[in-house]
Amino acid sequence: MLKALIFDIKKFAIHDGPGIRTTVFFKGCPLACAWCHNPEAMSTKPELVLFESKCISCGECFRVCPQQAHEMLPDGTRVYHRDLCTLCGKCTEVCYAEALVMEGREVTVEEVMVELRKDLPFYQNSEGGITLSGGEPTLQHEFVLALLKTCKAEGLHTAVDTSGQTPWHIFEDLLPYIDIVLYDIKHIDSGHHRTHTGVPNQRILENLQRLGQSGTPIEIRMPVIPTVNDDGQDIEATALLLAGIQGITRIELLPYHKLGASKYARLGMPYQLDGLEPPSAPEMEAIAQRMRAHGLEVHVGS
């Protein structure tokens, strides 16, 4: 039986495609963007998250952990030794305060469909549907294909949010069952793209050109990160590229924010952009206007 590793199913999503949607978030991503607000999506494996502020020091996790990965120091400091943890999940089962949570659970297609069907009235009244996001959903493409086929068989509108860092043959398999692709563009320069995401952008841009030729509607989603990709020349080059691609219905500029910064500490990960301030509304509008000058429909997100 096909199974996938997901970390969330978000109801009443209004920023993940047209109408009211339910978004399924898959674990695992080929990119490691420095600004990612879903760091729990990066790893292809389950991860244990520690909310220290919720801990009530009941001691149950110390008692049940077979690896002694949880420790209370003499001074009362609580320590979680990630290097000892085997992710057995026993501590999460006894954590009454939900200070310990496992990010990532296996699901079947039918288990996901049960959740999606609950919101049918919202989809129908708003011309919404379901969105597969992540992470990178195409990393689990066999499951995604099966899920998309089931959704289309039941008349659901489908969207896939992708980084584009995927072999083209996978897109070819999925496209007949996708109504719109939400396509991420991080940086127009391949070298800078590698510096800030861990991979070059050659495949991403090649796939975008092919998607444009496929006839599938595309919504571009571009994070705007100060000092990273907001340079005037980079914006101009990006606009020129996008203006030459068919099928782009709109461009959504997403201003950098710090809402995901606290997640890094809970996962024991360093946050690389600490101290970076979000762009101002006038700065975002100036970038949007620069891109609109190329005949593009550009919106500034929140």
What are the C-alpha distances in Å from 240 to residues 20, 213, 244, 292? 32, 17, 7, 11
Q: What are 136-182's pLDDT values in tens digits?
A: 999 999 999 999 999 999 999 999 999 999 999 999 999 999 999 99
CA 22 – CA 245 distance, rounded (Å): 28
pLDDT at 131: 98
pLDDT at 76: 80
- Given a cut of 50, the residues of the chain with pLDDT beneath it are none
Q: Would you tell me which CATH number, out of the four given (3.30.70.20, 2.30.40.10, 2.60.40.1890, 3.40.50.2300), belongs to the domain 47-102?
A: 3.30.70.20
Instruction: Match 């939400």 to its residue by tokens.
Output: 182
Decide: 181 and 174 in contact? Cβ < 8 Å. no
pLDDT at 302: 77
pLDDT at 73: 87
Q: Do you find a cis peptide bond into 135, omega within 30 degrees of 0?
A: yes
Q: CATH 3.20.20.70: which residues of the chain?
A: 3-44+104-300
Sign of the Cα torsion 128, 133, 138, 141 reads negative
What are the C-alpha distances in Å from 254 to residues 50, 157, 250? 28, 24, 13
Superfamily assignment of 3-44+104-300 in CATH? Answer: Aldolase class I (3.20.20.70)
Residue 222 pairs with which residues in a beta bridge? Answer: 253
User: What's the number of CA atoms in the CB half-sphere (13 Å) around residue 213?
Assistant: 9
Percent of the chain with pLDDT over 70: 100
Q: 204 is written with which tokens? A: 């991403």
Sign of the Cα torsion 28, 32, 33, 38 reads positive
Q: Cα angle vertex 113, ends 142, 2, to 5°?
A: 30
CA 207 – CA 211 distance, rounded (Å): 6
- Side chain identity at 151, as an amino acid letter? C
Q: CATH 3.30.70.20: which residues of the chain?
A: 47-102
Decide: 188 and 152 in contact? Cβ < 8 Å. no
pLDDT at 215: 94
Q: What is the DSSP string of 202-226?
A: HHHHHHHHHHHHHT--EEEEEEE-T
The pTM assigned to this predicted structure is 0.93
Measured in residues, the chain has a length of: 302
Instruction: Match 């959903």 to its residue by tokens.
Output: 137
